[in-house]
Structure 1
């Protein structure tokens, strides 16, 4: 039985992204941007550190008609095998079970945490393929040669999956999945009644096939790991072409690989993130997870295969130090908040709220309201700086990530104002900076 007074799924009354016009612009514009960014970094377009031309028609060179992508068995087999094998690993590999946050009906979903087993298995598969193919790794070369085409396949796949997710949210659950109700628990931000908006934001909060949680899977598996694999494919291609390991590509591959696997191995941290606890699973998250992450976050390694640079020892040391600093801030601040919530840091200053909870305003969290965001952004900057200063294109990730973090901060701020009322005003007085101490 629900602990809340009122309906289990209240109607959403406010729109984000400027409503329907905004979500349509994002749903169409970001896929086009992802394709263009990948097209701009290819050997026949990018020459000697400057773009050979900016002809719009040239940007669409080698792009086939939509029907070709819809019916291409080779591309679909490649991607669906990747997606399907990871789904099988997610279900079958051993791990421990954890509960998520309490839902509006008073229940908690159970999640299988098996990132260690998954990464070990993936590393073993790559090692075996390397041995069997004597280092040729045709799967990696195929990924490198067909990157834009596979990017388009993931866009189409995200569209199709999000339509099914939206439709599925209207069907009564055959099983209660431990919730004590046959009613889907919907997102508080994706239940407007407008099909376009709800499809984009995500109508259902936690769509599942039995115990298999689609949102958490897509958040941590097919897109995040494909980002790493795209980088490895770039490093592999450069090695096959030159017989050398470029230190700039190697740094980007290792640094971003560390970031990816840190997320996968600490996947329980996602259970309290806004993506899992608040947002529905619609096209916004599906596209972000399956396309935007693997095919725009990997631009640095892609660029360095087309226009390689060699990093000096001191500059490489600076990049490592910058990433280490960012990671320390990110990891330490998250741990501090987690320990505080568990009652392990009673000496830290906090504000008591009328809801009976405390708002931490000391330590890292006395410096800014989202100190972890600042650390995360410093990490992203270290990767972009590894590409030198020949083009602003490779700084897309850091710029986009800054905009994303600011948007998340504003969303979180709005929710907290509603949740805490006057107590939030006291908190803002105690911690005035949003993300970057003394600046913003």
Structure 2
């Protein structure tokens, strides 16, 4: 079943991203659950030439390549602190330059400078993003596919030198080294593809897609202000909440070094498409929906306060639980109850981690709800993210359960007896 699933995602998810755009734009925006398929079909190209023009719009490709190269340039030259990743199978540790503060500061500085260069606060780049959403969606999908092909082919090329890379050989992903080229291409054959010391996977995880997501949100506010003369409180709120989340992720990139995406999963189409196309274009769905004046939602102070509170509580649970586990792994909380495993590591079952096996997932899901609630209850389409994300978290929990059961055996069963709830305390 692995191969059909991989093929379904490779061809299906890009269509989902495109469909979400067709359902929420200024030409047509869905209300309730009733779809006007004729209005949707009118937006589709009528010929191969029109399709080609959309997919390979020269100006959009130029803009995106400038964006990708610029974020790469900042990532390479801006200072940060040097950290080592987890130990790899050959006993080595990859070196990382943790410079999220520098990169995000540069992004904000450029944006502010560009904004104030115009007396009317009109930024052509932001308007371009808003006006060419479908073309840019197709560009990011195609680019992510090309990047996946590049890293897959590169995974077969032996390293000539460990200089700047930190490993003696290419470390392949256990899951992505099956010998089936389609599945390995999808899941990622090489664990940490690099060009010299530049880590492609960590860069894509936190730079071009995450910052583009924020740029899309800002483009929606920019369009609403300049086209209609005012900005709704709902679109400002969702942009502010998501901006906080983006910058928190970029500024705390050190925590990514121990995440399953970096330590276990190879870098293939799944992560390339997810980072470069899925994140910016599905996570910005609420702002794009609200940018249409037909979908205007006036929240008012009470609902704004309730949504901010939900986001705040979710973020507190997410951050506090992750910080507690990180401190425990560093040996700072040895007094807390834990189970020593046959591998020598310990399973924390105290504090936040006595409440559920993945209490941090609950906090993350509450954050997702806060974004979706800014759109009111006009259509379930704007709740796509919270449904998708909940499914993703369930899948991660099941993967983690299988991995830990295999790794820890009886100790994992004992842990599950002490911490029976998987994500939501007293519920699941």
TM-score interval, smaller chain? over 0.9
Aligned to 2:88: 103
In structure 1, C-alpha distance between the alignment counterparts of 2:43 and 2:137, rounded to whole Å? 14
Q: After superposition, where does 1:14-413 map in structure 2 within 5 Å?
A: 18-46=1-29, 53-55=36-38, 58=41, 60-61=43-44, 65=48, 66-69=51-54, 71-134=56-119, 135-177=121-163, 182-306=168-292, 307-413=295-401
8 Å contact from structure 1 (residues 174, 182) kept in 2:
no
In structure 2, C-alpha distance between the alignment counterparts of 1:406 and 1:60, rounded to whole Å? 35
Post-superposition Cα deviations, 1:375-400, rounded to whole Å, max 9, x if no partner, equal: 00000001101100010000000000
Q: TM-score, normalised by structure 1?
A: 0.93
8 Å contact from structure 1 (residues 230, 294) kept in 2:
yes
In structure 2, C-alpha distance between the alignment counterparts of 1:415 and 1:149, rounded to whole Å? 40
More deviation, 237-246/376-385: 237-246
Label 1:419 to 1:59 Cα distance change in 2 as closer, same or farther (>3 A): farther
8 Å contact from structure 1 (residues 95, 113) kept in 2:
yes
8 Å contact from structure 2 (residues 55, 135) kept in 1:
no
SS in 2 for 1:405: helix
8 Å contact from structure 1 (residues 40, 59) kept in 2:
no
Cα RMSD of the aligned pairs, angstroms, is 1.6
Post-superposition Cα deviations, 1:130-153, rounded to whole Å, max 9, x if no partner, equal: 122331101101100111110111
8 Å contact from structure 1 (residues 45, 52) kept in 2:
no
Superposition deviation, residue 48 in structure 1: 6.7
SS in 1 for 2:274: helix
Structure 1 unaligned spans of 5+: 1-17
8 Å contact from structure 2 (residues 86, 263) kept in 1:
yes
Superposition deviation, residue 346 in structure 1: 2.0
In structure 1, C-alpha distance between the alignment counterparts of 2:17 and 2:130, rounded to whole Å? 16
Structure 2 unaligned spans of 5+: none
8 Å contact from structure 1 (residues 186, 204) kept in 2:
yes
Superposition deviation, residue 178 in structure 1: 5.9
More deviation, 51-60/180-189: 51-60
In structure 2, C-alpha distance between the alignment counterparts of 1:357 and 1:199, rounded to whole Å? 33
8 Å contact from structure 2 (residues 93, 166) kept in 1:
no
In structure 2, C-alpha distance between the alignment counterparts of 1:126 and 1:179, rounded to whole Å? 33
State how many pairs are aligned: 423
Label 1:47 to 1:282 Cα distance change in 2 as closer, same or farther (>3 A): closer
